[in-house]
């Protein structure tokens, strides 16, 4: 795992100049990232410095946060099995927790932490 958590950028979506983009790869040794987007119906791949990729993703996250101040609905991400409650994330399951409420609370904290992962100051 990356010491700076930059691999968390991989798979992130953001918009740039009216195009939906996805972070395809982060290569820390070269300090470069690759993004993919469609232009005139054709897939394009562009190399950018990691700091630029991080800035683009963070600016999109900040815009989304300004438009959404409500708590994220997570009920569909929590299930009960093996005598405990688990929250499903892209990185794997979190848990077990003793109750649905404990899993929901931990998952909300996880979401808030993920929002901070891509801030410009990071």
Note the pLDDT tens digit of each residue in 7-40: 678 888 888 877 888 999 999 899 999 999 888 8
First to last CA, the chain: 17
Structure tokens, 94: 């979190």
Give burial (CB, 10 Å; 0-12/13-18/19+) of 79: middle
Q: Look at strands 78-81 and 13-16 and give their pairing.
A: unpaired
Backbone torsions φ then ψ of 69, nearest 5 degrees: -100, 0
Structure-model confidence comparison of residues 122 and 62, the more confident one: 62
pLDDT above 80 for 82? yes
Bond from prior residue into 112 cis (ω within 30 degrees of 0): no
Which of 54-58, 80-84, 85-89, 101-105 has the weakest average pLDDT?
Answer: 54-58
What would the mean pLDDT of 105-120 be, rounded to a whole number?
Answer: 72
């Amino acid at each position: 795992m990356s010491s700076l958590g930059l691999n968390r950028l991989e798979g992130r979506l953001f918009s740039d100049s009216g195009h939906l983009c996805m972070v395809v790869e982060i290569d820390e040794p070269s300090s470069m990232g690759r993004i993919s987007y469609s232009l005139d119906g054709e897939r394009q791949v562009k190399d950018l410095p990691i700091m630029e990729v991080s800035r683009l993703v963070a600016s999109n996250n900040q815009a989304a946060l300004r438009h959404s101040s409500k708590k994220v609905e997570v009920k569909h991400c929590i299930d009960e099995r093996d005598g405990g409650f688990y929250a499903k994330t892209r990185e794997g399951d979190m848990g077990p927790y003793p109750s649905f409420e404990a899993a929901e609370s931990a998952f909300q904290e996880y979401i808030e932490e993920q929002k901070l992962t891509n801030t410009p100051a990071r």
